Every structure is written in structure tokens, then in C-alpha cells.
Structure 1
Amino acid sequence: MTTPQQQQPQPQEQPPLQQPVAPQPAKKGIKVPRLVISIVVLIVVAGVGWFLSRDDALNAKVGDCLHQKGANDLAIVKCDSADANFSVLGRVEDKTESEVNATDVCNQWREATDTYWEGKSGQKGTVLCLKGK
């Protein structure tokens, strides 16, 4: 008779140890799509601003014509327009309103009949030397 052999218990297989995974740091900075959208919005806002102010008297150049919309409100119009009240003979930059009132800044344009100053009170602005139509 043989003696039964005892079976030794098999060690349980353990899964291999895994190294703990450190969380990835969050990426900082502006994502490209957000940056592109911001730039596009900025361009659109600038374009709308330009479009709305394109006929302001401050943008007038020598040779442009202006329409008087109000007591101190002029707008650029086509010179063949029936609304054209003035033509721009000259532009003088960096003059205060008091300098314009005290001197004849447009005396170099003999045909000038009117002056128009635009700027912030107490600061330097732009003078347009105008000829009435």
C-alpha cells in the first residue's frame, strides 16, 4: 500500500505589481482654436468700427467733400452729390481748439471759407480748411 502523498498547496499567482501612474500635468496656455476665434472676432470688430466711422470728417483728405449733418457734425460724401456742402482744401494736425479760434490756421488756403476742428477739449486735434460749395 502506498501512502497517499499530500499535495502541497500551489502558491496563488499574483498579478505583477504595476507602478503607480502619476497624473499628467494639465497643459497650460491658449488652445489654437480659441486663439484663432479670438483673432477673427478682433478683426471683425475692427472692421465694423472702420465701416461705421469711414465717413467721419476726421477721415477726410484734401479733395474730399463733406455734408453738414448738424451744427458740429460733418460726413464725407461724393463731390457730385447734392448733399456736398464743403470741399476740403487743407488739413492741419496738432492744433488746440483755442489755437484755431485765436489764429487763422487756414490762411495759406486763400479760398478757404470755413474751418472745422475735431478733437478732445483741451487737447490737440485736427483742423480741416474748407471751401463752401
Structure 2
Amino acid sequence: PVLRFGFNNDLGFTNTVNTMQGFTSYKLVLEGDGYRFDGKTLPFDTVTKSYKVKQADGTLKSVSFEQKSTVHGPVLTLPDGKTTVALKVAGLDRPGVLEQYLEMGKARDWGAFEKALRKMQVVMFNIIYADRAGHILYL
């Protein structure tokens, strides 16, 4: 819903892939209704979430599910059905990525662009910027 690469008469910006590993996975040892961590059994944090699925008649059906999390992050069961992992994902705690990109896209000068960057929401990409006033940035 927002531009990630753009230009106008005054400036331009783009992204390159940051080669950092954006996540760390932790194989969990399940015990009872929880998991082992630091020599203890801890309970999962559980929240009910939902998403909508478009039906053949065009209506939307809500599907609910429970999302478990650990101290590391969200929990997934791998396709083998036997291995459960928790993921610590860079930027998962930063819900303002789209807002930052929107503000970057609306910028008309370095000051406005820098203000958008200060939100520090885009952690997975390098940002390249240049403008007519001679500002050049690789972040």
C-alpha cells in the first residue's frame, strides 16, 4: 500500500537487501502445556487472532486461531509435525514500517525524509537517498 522505491522532482530513494540474518530460530523442548527455558518450564503466551478468507460468493469468512509465543517470539510447528520452534524476528516489534515508508514517499526535502527515517522502523533494508540539494545517504 506504499512506495518502497520512489522519486519526485526533488529527491529519490530506493532499498537494497540487508544481508543480515533477520531472525534466529530456537528449537523448543515441549513440556506439559509449556516449554523448557533456562532450566524451567514456562507457559506459552497465547492470543487469539483472526484473518479473513474470501469465499466463492465474494463474502469474507473470519477464521480464528491461537498464536503461541515464547520469550523469544512466535511459535511455529515445522512441516514434519514434530519440531516446534520459536522465532525472534528483527523488527517484529516495530509496527510502523508502512507509516515510515508513506512519510518517506511524501518527503520533498532532506529534512522531511530524515524525520521519517528517525522512526527507525525499516530494519530489513538498506536505504539509499539523493536529492537536488546534494544530500546523498546510504543507511
Tell whether the structures are fold-level matches, with TM greater than 0.5: no
More helix by share: 1
Greater CA radius of gyration, 1 or 2?
A: 1
TM range (shorter): under 0.3
**TM-score normalised according to structure 2 size:** 0.19
**TM-score normalised according to structure 1 size:** 0.19
More strand by share: 2
